Chains A and B, each alone.
Chain A
């Protein structure tokens, strides 16, 4: 997909000016609230008229102020998933789901409804009254409704922000499964670094109505490290597990990690703060922490006074945060062999 945007919009007291071109299929738009992210989504969808500029998607001009061209929303074939699900309250979940599908010409339908219903696990919800669905269920129906209209681009405006923390991460696997399975190009707007990292390949950082950077999600996470109390968050995709010494032993990139049993044995995505990794110069004789990983130091970087150390453990990669003094004492330089120690209780399951 190719999306090229050059737009200006002036509100009283707030100016937006977005200029970027992207070829990524999963685009993240990151910014604090009030930075103009939602305005960008509304302009792309045609719900807000820009003052001037051009929007071009895959070679088709959707908006061009000079040519007085503005393709109406209903003809843009750009799907939108809003912060709230905005399901039609007078229709069943099934009628909501198929609302866009019925309005899509047969020749443009690219999604097989049954397959989507299966991926989103909607089978049991179809005949339900949408007013009785939970927040997560509503958002899944809303996502399915947009995807079934076979959009050329799916805009997601903070789709998880209305859900509580636990639910948020339960919906993410559904989202990523849909993107992967049906190859829908996505533009995800979020103020959460984790969501952006889990769901996008390229990030457009928006600040005060301007594009301030166009980077990859990992760079964003490292840049944000200095500003978050928890520091850099390692995201670990853990595979199958087996019980071991009262703990759970998960497989992670040809390593084994021991986690507290309370986290559940299913494979999934886990987070680990860079502050919860302790580094040792030599193999410690004994430690109360249950994970001891031999690793090789990669890059060492400084983010606003915080030092991040990239660790390569077999095929896996972790970032640990250490003090400047520790770098000197442990003699941490690239390619050095080192030991990382992590407590089994330091991990947190995202989904």
Chain B
């Protein structure tokens, strides 16, 4: 049953690579966005919140198409990047970008819930003890929201693994280059007799996701032990 072709293995490796890269790249931005939404006194907070959450409600295909318009041959960002000889569309970086945009609201949402659970009076206490905001951020907020960061990262990773709509538009479905597991499954289901291969890849996908959940659970447990010396 599990007899994969080289391109299948490439799809698995690429899926993992894309999901890991997207998660790592999004963490600092996601954290900063959540911090701004929870603790800053920005005027345009509601707008920022809306923009961040937009990919959650818009179909991924639309996200992919908008990214394509932006980064494509005639898009202004694409033109800008071309000056430095950077090409994103139809490379694996496009898959990363698609996952990043689509998974970002989930990451921010999760971190935000964790941050909102921090008693503001702890931050007041730290300020009266002489800690400026960046000090409170690293010594109080970061450790106390660590669990939600991990939970958010897991969600982000899982969402990246499953990303399809935006990826197929902006990265295409090029075996060995931009074909991730969902795209490979899609290919198999469109091929006569590909059902069993599709199912095998589905099982691999489930296996990876389940392992991530278990790993996350273990990390969270370890983290909470660390928190209570």
Contact = CB atoms under 8 A, between A and B. Distances in A.
B114 to A, nearest CB: 13
Given A82-B121, A89-B144, 6 more contacts: A47-B128, A74-B130, A77-B130, A84-B121, A88-B125, A103-B131
Given A90-B227, A92-B229, A129-B228, A99 B122 contact: no
Nearest to B224: A90
A73 B128 CA distance: 6
14 contacts: A45-B124, A47-B124, A74-B129, A74-B135, A77-B130, A80-B128, A84-B121, A88-B122, A90-B227, A99-B126, A99-B129, A99-B139, A103-B129, A103-B130
Contacts of A92: 229
B229 A146 contact: no
Query: When A and B form their complex, which 7 residue pairs have the shortest distance between CB atoms, in order from nearest?
Result: A100-B129, A103-B130, A73-B127, A80-B128, A86-B125, A90-B143, A90-B227
Contacts of B132: 72, 74
Contacts of B122: 86, 88-89
A254 interface: no
B144 A90 contact: yes
Interface string A82-101: 10101011101000000110
A186 to B, nearest CB: 14
Nearest to A84: B121
Interface of B: 119, 121-122, 124-132, 135, 139-140, 143-144, 227-229
B128 A89 contact: no
Interface string A30-52: 00000000000000011100000
Nearest to A151: B128
A225 interface: no
A78 interface: yes
A47 B130 contact: no
Given A86-B121, A86-B122, A89-B144, A149 B227 contact: no
A203 to B, nearest CB: 24
Main secondary structure of the interface of B (DSSP, over half): helix
A212 interface: no
Contacts of B125: 80, 82, 86, 88
Interface of A: 45-47, 72-80, 82, 84, 86, 88-90, 92, 99-100, 103-104, 127, 129, 131, 145-146, 149
A146 B129 CA distance: 7
A104 B130 contact: yes
A77 B119 CA distance: 22
B129 A129 contact: no
A149 B131 CA distance: 11
A89 B145 CA distance: 12
A99 to B, nearest CB: 5
A103 B131 CA distance: 7
Contacts of B227: 89-90
Contact of A78 (B128, B131, B135): B128
B115 to A, nearest CB: 14
A129 B130 contact: no
Nearest to B226: A90
A103 B144 contact: no
A236 B130 CA distance: 39
Contacts of B228: 129, 131
Contacts of A74: 127-132, 135
Contacts of A80: 124-125, 128
Given A89-B144, A89-B227, A90-B144, A149 B130 contact: yes
Nearest to B144: A90
A221 to B, nearest CB: 31
Given A82-B121, A86-B119, A103-B135, A129 B229 contact: yes
Contact of B128 (A88, A129, A131, A146): A146
A82 B119 CA distance: 13
Contacts of A149: 128-130
Nearest to A128: B229
A129 B229 CA distance: 6
A88 B126 contact: yes
Nearest to A93: B229
Contacts of A104: 130
A155 to B, nearest CB: 8
A79 B128 contact: yes
